[in-house]
Structure 1
Amino acid sequence: MDGTVNGMTWGWTGVRGTWGGSEAEDSMRKMSAVGVNWVAIALGALQETAQSTKIAYGDEPTVTDDEVRWAIRQAKSLGMKVCMKPVVNCANGTWRAHIVFFQQDVPGEPSWAEWFASYTEFIVHYARIAEEEGCEMLCVGCEMVQADSRGNEWRALIAEVRKVYSGLITYNCDKYQEDRLTWWDAVDIISSSGYYPIGEWEAHLDRIEGVLKKWEMPFFFMEGGCPSREGSAQRPNDWSLPGGPSEEEQANYYRVMFEACSKREWMRGYMLWDWPARLYSAEQASQNDDYCMYGKQAEAIVRDYYTSSVHQGKEAHASQ
């Protein structure tokens, strides 16, 4: 993995009909202008509940394959490298981290074997598109905390992916889980969701550093960020936390996060969360309390950091 990941997550959740056209083009251009050199093209497909074993990735509301190809090509036309990121969600609103089955298969009950068969089909489908469109990276899972212990199944899935995809492979574990996975050697890059409370960065970076020493692998945050909302810096992973809009809360979180992470030589970068396919207007930015930093104080902080880190990265590479 060469260079710094000055990335952004684009297009979540991948709602059919929103990837393409002038609004999506405008969104991606404005994202690129923040100094972004990597983009995670993130889409969600649905299974009914946390105990369902069928992932309906071809059905609405998931974006079509043509929309996925459009987004990849648009990003590449703007000079960005692409990480394809297909994610499973539960239609009933249960967080995907709670997808779980009996540890040992029981006749008549939904099983890990059935689920992984469907999930492998889902991921391999997008792995083929990623290969055909020249995506530099593929993320094979996101925050699947209950599934993380199924190392044999993940290794088998990744082996199937490698049959059709030749780029870099990562897995996006959830926050606090970096030191709990036992199969990091099956992927090329360790990544996680870096939604850590603003006052706890050093402790968690120390812990992650221990993981990297053990596995001797590169690392970046596949997700990270903070809503522009009062109180969110203490619980940046909670998108539903009550509080009024606050650009300052978000801006200060980014300052602290960048300062802490920039001291770690092993930090390869971020795919910040997030940048929608259809942006709110700049005039609405101060009242928007979500993760997107467009038009907010944090946008300038991210742009300054990304452009300076690109410069530093080039200098470091040239000196090697």
Structure 2
Amino acid sequence: MSAIDLLREPVCGMTWGWVGTRGTWATPVAEASLDRMAEHAVTWTAIAYAAEQATPFSTEIPFDQPPTVTEDEIVWAIRGAHERGMKVCLKPVVNVADGTWRAFIGFFDWDVPGEPSWTQWFASYTRFILNAAAIAEAESCEMFCIGCEMVRSDGQETHWRELIRKVRDVYSGPITYNCDKYQEDHVTWWDAVDIVSSSGYYPIGAWDTQLDRIERVVEASGKPFFFMEAGCPSREGSARLPNDWNLVGEPSGAEQETYYRAMFAAVRARPWVGGLMLWDWPADLYDETGAMANDDYCPYGKPAARVMAEQYAAWAAGAA
């Protein structure tokens, strides 16, 4: 199926399982989490897991070692989502063990003898991504994401194009890259992927301005577009800084609900936005009775969950 055909219906999505810690998937708890997510009009899920490199300057990504989930766990999650009627975007992500955000992984712009290099890093990253692409192909995943918020690497156009070429030898479905917020018009190789996607963590009052900017990028690319990540913690102040997971504030379901309503109104008013993959739904889901004390991104048991389910149901019905 082509990317355009795939997105004729909206991506009513939710990211599941982050960060993909070994032993937390393929359990009764994880199965119950998938059940609860499927009850909220979610038709797509990004099965997201992370491999860890030691520092931002490391060139080895040991994706087959703990804490990363095993291949058996990944297959279990994909099949579980498919069994519940959801389409799957497999999303392998690289993290940094020392806590540095992956956007800051970086090396000299050119290779220098004796120094860690982009060439070395991409060799390891390619092994990681091709391993995931083979799983995505074997399990008939409807989409594959080759990277997430790798801001400092975005300028390595030659390396990204070569990676995409190799992925296409392994995976036959649509490919996307999840650029970070505000970076949509800085990626120069959108023509190499099938779907443009980004992290839409925009402040509550900024959605229309940012959508105007992104629309120009999407029109120039000629590609379908959706937000591979979006959302807001249920925390006071988070609607102004929805990307800041460390923001200090009291739990607030009302804050998250207000943000969700504004976000859905803005994106659904733009026909070229193909949907949302909201962030995020953990494999070990908290008890619903404690939801209002939870200040993270997951909307389960909070007012935003009702907004999501209502909006997704209406969006899907409008496309039918």
Alignment correspondent of 1:115: 121
Alignment correspondent of 2:294: 288
Alignment correspondent of 2:79: 73
Match of 1:227 among 206, 213, 233: 233
Match of 1:189 among 176, 195, 203: 195
**In structure 2, how many angstroms separate the alpha carbons of the residues matched to 1:252 and 1:111?**
44
Alignment correspondent of 1:10: 16
Corresponding residue SS for 1:31 = helix
Alignment correspondent of 1:317: none
Alignment correspondent of 2:179: 173
Counterparts of 1:281-320 in structure 2 under 5 Å?
A: 281-314=287-320
Letter of the 1:96 counterpart:
R
Letter of the 1:93 counterpart:
G
1:269-302 CA distance string (max 9 Å, x none): 0110000001100111000000000000000000
Match of 2:99 among 81, 93, 97: 93
Alignment correspondent of 2:250: 244
**In structure 2, how many angstroms separate the alpha carbons of the residues matched to 1:129 and 1:111?**
28
Letter of the 1:163 counterpart:
D
CA root-mean-square deviation: 0.5
How far residue 213 of structure 1 moved from its aligned partner, in angstroms, is: 1.3
How far residue 3 of structure 1 moved from its aligned partner, in angstroms, is: 1.2
Q: Which 4+ residue blocks in structure 1 deviate beyond 3 angstroms?
A: none
Letter of the 2:301 counterpart:
G
Matched, 1:52 2:62: no
Match of 2:133 among 127, 130, 140: 127
Alignment correspondent of 2:153: 147
1:42-90 CA distance string (max 9 Å, x none): 0000000000000010110100000000000000000000000000000
TM-score scaled by structure 1?
A: 0.98
**In structure 1, how many angstroms separate the alpha carbons of the residues matched to 2:113 and 2:163?**
23
How far residue 13 of structure 1 moved from its aligned partner, in angstroms, is: 0.1
How far residue 32 of structure 1 moved from its aligned partner, in angstroms, is: 0.6
Letter of the 2:111 counterpart:
D
Structure 1 residues without counterparts, runs of 5 or longer: 315-320
**In structure 1, how many angstroms separate the alpha carbons of the residues matched to 2:46 and 2:268?**
21
Structure 2 residues without counterparts, runs of 5 or longer: 1-5
Corresponding residue SS for 2:153 = coil
**In structure 2, how many angstroms separate the alpha carbons of the residues matched to 1:282 and 1:261?**
28
Corresponding residue SS for 2:152 = coil
Percent identity, aligned pairs only, is 60
**In structure 2, how many angstroms separate the alpha carbons of the residues matched to 1:164 and 1:105?**
28
Letter of the 1:165 counterpart:
Y
Letter of the 1:235 counterpart:
L
Letter of the 2:64 counterpart:
G
**In structure 1, how many angstroms separate the alpha carbons of the residues matched to 2:26 and 2:73?**
6
**In structure 2, how many angstroms separate the alpha carbons of the residues matched to 1:124 and 1:152?**
17
